[in-house]
Chain A
């Protein structure tokens, strides 16, 4: 298994531009999570899906952030418009149904908004 696949690995964009981050979870995993990691705030849960349905988006910082999961093998996190304070590493993670499973993280997308 290739693990959780995220793209792009690095993204540099100008303030005000739209940014789309992509994630392919492990096949068979029915939970998908989006996290943001910064030095100041650590690992923050933004949103998670179960069977492609958003369950909790209370961690999404603002309306500028949106996430979708159109099918079991693909999810996107979009920021529009982007701001410098959105600069962070964004991780996607997936997990199987059983509560005894750990999370498998993707390699992350390092976003820099200038």
Chain B
């Protein structure tokens, strides 16, 4: 079953912050985050394996609330290069299911 992402799209100015949410109706054991630029393949950003785990990747970080079956991706001080579509993926048994994606546009 696919996780649900919100918002569907967000437009930012350089330097602004954004939060992308991912939730599942099933228990989550791990959450992946990927970014896909137009015409390219999805690129792995990070994985969260335990409830409450937070990870960071430059100015992009994520949290995982196992109880609420939710994960959030935080983009701080956004840069033009952050533009793209962000996907969360959840898998319980190696069969990764992706959300519909959040299109992030960062403008100068």
Judge whether B30 is part of the interface by a CB distance below 8 angstroms.
yes
How many A-B pairs with Cβ below 8 Å?
Answer: 47
In the complex the two chains form, is A33's CB within 8 Å of B98's CB? no
Q: A43-B42, A43-B87, A91-B41 are in contact. Are A103 and B96 (CB under 8 A)?
A: yes
Which of B17-25, B43-51, B62-70, B76-84 faces chain A? B43-51
**What residues on B are CB-neighbors of A101 within 8 Å?**
47
The main secondary structure of chain A at its interface with chain B is strand
User: In the complex, how many residues of chain B place their beta carbon closer than 8 angstroms to a beta carbon of chain A?
Assistant: 23
Judge whether A14 is part of the interface by a CB distance below 8 angstroms.
no
A→B interface (CB under 8 Å): 31, 33, 42-43, 45, 48, 50, 55-56, 91, 99-108
Q: 11 additional contacts, CB 8 Å, given A43-B98, A43-B101, A100-B49?
A: A42-B99, A42-B101, A48-B94, A99-B49, A100-B47, A102-B44, A102-B47, A103-B32, A103-B44, A103-B89, A105-B43
